[in-house]
Amino acid sequence: MNEQQNEKQPFKFDLKDQKTRLLLVAIACLIVIAITVLSSVKDANADNTSDGDIGTLSIIDAESSGGAPAPDNKTPENVSMELHVLDVGQGDGMYITCGDKNIVIDAGENGNDEFVCNYLKEQGVKTIDLVIATHQHSDHIGGLDTVIKTFDCKGFMMPEVPENMIPNSVAYEKFMKAVDKKKVPYIQPCTGDIYDFDGVKMYIYDDGRGGEDLNSSSVIVKFVCGKNSFLLMADAEKSEENRIMARGYDLKSDVLKIGHHGSSKATGEKFLDAVNPQYIAISCGANNDYGFPHREIKAMLREKGIKYFRTDLVSTIVFKSDGKNITVTTAR
């Protein structure tokens, strides 16, 4: 009875049967074709993401891989980086150079256009590989419209925030007009992304999404130059610091550009201990209306013995790294 049933089955799996052997050969051929097609698609994608225009983009999806970005074991021989915390009065403005690449992060209020552009020209800047508008407040983006107009910019980053958070300000309008007019491509910041600028890695620690206001929707980046690192907090306050800490990122950095001009709403003690910086830069205006940097912050830094520099007292601060050591100079 059983034998009879088996004989009636049309595709009985028997290697001695010629039909079965043909079927197996066909399946094997299909698998080979599928693997060939998939690998060529993968190669094409890799080509797309490494055109080198704004550094090689590689993504580490830190959240889905369950941890912090992998530490970079390779320490390139010839990495170098400079961080210039510009004296833009009450606001933020920074110029960063990594090898031959130039990055500008914010440029203070509108009235600083000339100072920032002249400073960049003095440094020999012609092309800016990336402009980061950390968030839409005028004390950060105000001077950027002229920077965009004056230099050849390869791309700009700005956090994506809900429509109702976007300020109805002249600074924002001018900035958007400038990037539109010069057709500067928008680069979406994404938490966990890593960019390479001549061997210096830029990690996006927070893309600003999920912030309750513009300050806590700041783009936060960490630069790693060989053994040295720089964490730039824009106007992030404690809620955004907590978001980063919750991700388990490696916060330890040699230099910290302190959050929100030294406001006591930023730089929680736990966060500062995790960063454990050698130097801190505070960008704030002389006798500013907000009392930045706040007394509590200054007291905490003194207590922990962390050396800090204020743009209102020493003007522009320049940190230089050769991948091993950092030197600091100030304009006065």
User: Which 116-135 positions form the footprint of Zn ion (CB under 5 A)?
Assistant: none
How far is it, in rounded angstroms, from Cα 215 to Cα 213?
6
Tell me: does residue 235 bind Zn ion (CB under 5 A).
yes
Pick from 139, 145, 241, 250 the residue near Zn ion by CB under 5 A: 139
Q: How far is the CB of 156 from Zn ion (least distance, A)?
A: 18
Q: How far is the CB of 258 from Zn ion (least distance, A)?
A: 11
97-101 long-range contacts (CB < 8 A, ≥24 apart) are 97/123, 98/197, 98/198, 98/199, 98/200, 98/223, 98/225, 99/197, 99/198, 99/199, 99/200, 100/198, 101/55, 101/129, 101/130, 101/197, 101/198, 101/200
Element (H, E) at 221: strand 220-225
**Of 139 and 145, which has the nearer Cβ to Zn ion?**
139
Q: Which is nearer to Zn ion, 206 or 235 (CB)?
A: 235
Residue 106 interacts with Zn ion (CB under 5 A)? no
Per rule CB under 5 A, is residue 87 in the interface with Zn ion? no
Return the number of the residue (149 or 265) whose C-beta is nearest Zn ion. 265
Applying CB under 5 A, the span of 50-58, 160-168, 170-178, 231-239 interacting with Zn ion comes to 231-239
Beta bridge partners of residue 103, listed in sequence order? 96, 130
| Binding flag, residue 113, Zn ion (CB under 5 A) | no
Q: Does 237 bind Zn ion (CB under 5 A)?
A: no
145 makes contact with Zn ion (CB under 5 A): no
Which CB atom, from 5 or from 287, has the smaller least distance to Zn ion?
Answer: 287
DSSP for 19-41 reads HHHHHHHHHHHHHHHHHHHHHHH
Say how many C-beta atoms besides its own lie within 10 A of residue 330's C-beta: 16
CB atoms within 10 A of CB 235: 26
Check binding of 109 to Zn ion (CB under 5 A).
no
Contact in structure between 294 and 264 (CB atoms under 8 Å) = yes
Only segment of 98-106, 112-120, 138-146, 218-226 that touches Zn ion (CB under 5 A): 138-146
- Window of 149-157, 229-237, 240-248, 301-309 that interacts with Zn ion by CB under 5 A: 229-237
Indicate whether 240 belongs to the interface with Zn ion (CB under 5 A): no
Q: Assess whether the previous peptide bond of 185 is cis (omega < 30° from 0).
A: no
Q: Residues interacting with Zn ion, by CB under 5 A?
A: 139, 235
